[in-house]
Chain A
Amino acid sequence: MPRLPTSIILRARALHPLLPLLLRPCRDLSSARNELRWLREHAIANREVTLTSSGSIKTSWPQHLYQMCRSRARGKPLQYILGSQPFGELEILCRRGVLIPRPETENITTHLASLLLSPPSRPQHPLRILDLCTGTGCIPLLLHSLLAPRTPSLHLHGVDISPAALTLAAKNLSHNITKSQLRANAREQISFTHGDIFAAGAKPWCESKWDILISNPPYISPSSFNATTSRSVRNYEPKSALVPSSADPIAGNPESYADTGDRFYPRLLDLAERVSARVLLVEVADMEQAVRVGEMVVEKGRGVWDGCEIWRDWPAAGAEEGGEVVEVKGGDVRVRGEGNGRAVLAWKGEDGGRMVGKKKASASG
Chain B
Amino acid sequence: MLTTRRCACLQRFATAKRCQLWRVLRYQSTVPSPTSTIPPALLGRAQALAAEHAELSKQLNSEYDTRIAKKAGSLSAVVTALNGWELTSNSLPELQQLIKDPSTDPELRSLAEEELQSTTEKLSSLSSDLQKSLIPEHPFAQMQCLIEIRPGAGGDEAGIFAGNLLQMYQGYCRRQGLRVNILKFDATKTQGLENSIQEAVLEIETPGAYDMLRCEAGVHRVQRVPATEVKGRTHTSAVSVLVLPNFPSQGEDELGESNFEDPSNDYYVDPTDVRTDVMRAKGAGGQHVNTTDSAVRLTHLPTNTVVAIQDSRSQQQNRAKAWQILRAKLAQARRDAREEEMAQLRLSIVGVSKMGRGDKVRTYNWGQQRVTDHRSGITLHHLDDILEGGESLDKVMASVREWLKMQDLQLLVADEEAARAKADI
Contacts and interface: CB of A to CB of B under 8 A. Distances in A.
B283 interface: yes
B293 to A, nearest CB: 6
A35 interface: yes
Interface residues of A, number: 40
B289 interface: yes
A34 B311 CA distance: 7
B285 interface: yes
Interface stretch (B74-82, B242-250, B314-322): B314-322
A78 B292 contact: yes
A216 B313 CA distance: 22
A33 B313 CA distance: 12
Contacts of A79: 290, 292
A30 B285 contact: no
Interface in A137-170: none
Main secondary structure, interface of A, reads: mixed
Contacts of B278: 314
Interface residues of B, number: 23
B313 A230 contact: no
A97 interface: no
A102 B281 CA distance: 11
A99 B287 contact: yes
Contact of B285 (A78, A99, A104): A104
B243 to A, nearest CB: 48
A77 B290 contact: yes
Given A30-B310, A86-B313, A86-B316, A342 B290 contact: no
A189 interface: no
B230 interface: no
Interface string A92-130: 000000011011101000000000000000000000000
Contacts of B294: 86, 103
B280 A313 contact: yes
Interface centre among B278, B285, B292, B312 (most CB of A within 10 A): B292
Interface in A254-280: none
Contact of B317 (A86, A286, A314): A86
Interface in A17-35: 30-31, 34-35
A285 interface: yes
Contacts of B317: 86
A31 B292 contact: yes
B286 interface: yes
A205 interface: no
Contacts of A237: 290
Contacts of A286: 284
A102 B286 contact: yes
Contacts, number: 84
A102 B313 CA distance: 12
Interface centre among A79, A103, A224 (most CB of B within 10 A): A103
Contacts of A356: none
A280 B283 CA distance: 26
Interface string B183-212: 000000000000000000000000000000
Contacts of B290: 77, 79, 100, 102, 230, 232-233, 237
A168 B315 CA distance: 23
A283 interface: yes
Contacts of A241: 287
A75 to B, nearest CB: 10
Interface centre among B283, B313, B316 (most CB of A within 10 A): B313
A103 B288 contact: no
A242 interface: yes
B289 A233 contact: yes
A340 B284 contact: yes
B310 A86 contact: no
Interface string B35-78: 00000000000000000000000000000000000000000000
Interface of A: 30-31, 34-35, 38, 77-79, 82, 85-86, 88-89, 99-100, 102-104, 106, 216, 218-220, 224, 228-230, 232-233, 237, 241-242, 283, 285-286, 313-314, 339-340, 342
A-B complex: 7 closest residue pairs judged by Cβ atoms: A86-B314, A229-B288, A230-B289, A77-B290, A228-B284, A104-B286, A100-B290
Given A31-B293, A79-B290, A285-B288, 4 more contacts: A86-B313, A216-B287, A228-B288, A286-B284
20 contacts: A30-B310, A31-B292, A34-B295, A35-B292, A38-B313, A77-B290, A78-B292, A79-B292, A103-B294, A103-B315, A104-B281, A104-B285, A104-B286, A224-B284, A233-B288, A313-B281, A313-B285, A314-B278, A340-B286, A342-B285
